C-alpha cells in the first residue's frame, strides 16, 4: 500500500491499500520542550491562516468564539485539569494558537484592503464588540487560572514546575 499527505497543516495521511496494526504502542513526542511548542504554535498558526485565506474563509462571530471554546474543550471537556499545571498550560496555549490563526487571517484580509483597520478614527460598533469578546476570553482564562491556584493550594505557588 501507499498513500499521500493532505493539507498543509495538521496533515492527514490518506492510505491507499491495506493497513496493519502495530504490536506495541507508537510513542510520539511532538514537542520536547515548551520553547519548541511555542515555535510550533507560531509556525502552524501562520500556515493555518494562509490556508484559510487561500480557501477564502472569512471571519465571523463563530470564528472569534473558537479560541475561548478551545480552552474550555481542552481544560474541561478533555479533562486537562486532571493534568495539573501542564494541562492548564496546554489548554491556554491551544487557545492561543486558535486566536493567532484568526488574528493572522484577519491581518491577511486587511493587507488586501478587504478588512479595514481604522486606527485613530471613529470606532465602529463591531470593533467594540471584538474588544469585549477578547476581554471575556481573557477573563475566562484568568478565572480558570484562579480556580487552578486554589485547587493546588496558594502556599505551593512558588515551587510550581512547568
Residue with cell 488586501: 112
Yes or no: say if 137 and 96 are a contact pair by the CB < 8 Å rule: no
C-alpha cell at 136: 471575556
**Full-model pTM:** 0.65
B/e letters for 78-91, b = 16+ CB within 10 Å, e = fewer, are eebbeeeeebbbbb
Backbone torsion region of residue 29, taken as left when φ is above 0, otherwise alpha when ψ lies between -120 and 50, otherwise beta: beta
C-alpha cell at 158: 512558588
Residue pLDDT, tens place only, 29-75: 877 788 888 899 999 999 999 999 999 999 988 898 899 999 999 99
Amino acid at each position: 500500500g501507499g498513500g499521500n499527505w493532505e493539507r498543509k497543516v495538521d496533515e492527514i495521511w490518506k492510505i491507499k491499500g491495506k493497513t496493519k496494526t502495530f504490536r506495541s504502542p507508537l510513542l510520539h513526542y511532538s514537542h520536547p520542550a515548551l520553547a519548541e511548542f511555542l515555535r510550533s504554535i507560531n509556525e502552524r498558526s501562520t500556515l493555518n491562516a494562509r490556508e484559510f485565506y487561500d480557501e477564502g474563509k472569512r471571519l465571523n462571530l463563530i470564528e472569534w468564539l473558537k479560541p475561548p471554546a478551545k480552552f474550555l474543550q481542552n481544560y474541561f471537556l478533555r479533562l486537562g485539569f486532571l493534568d495539573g499545571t501542564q494541562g492548564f498550560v496546554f489548554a491556554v496555549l491551544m487557545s492561543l494558537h486558535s486566536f493567532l490563526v484568526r488574528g493572522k487571517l484577519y491581518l491577511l484580509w486587511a493587507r488586501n484592503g478587504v478588512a479595514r483597520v481604522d486606527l485613530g478614527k471613529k470606532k465602529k460598533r463591531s470593533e467594540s464588540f471584538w474588544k469585549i469578546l477578547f476581554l471575556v476570553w481573557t477573563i475566562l482564562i484568568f478565572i480558570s487560572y484562579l480556580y487552578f491556584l486554589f485547587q493546588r493550594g496558594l502556599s505551593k505557588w512558588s515551587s510550581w514546575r512547568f
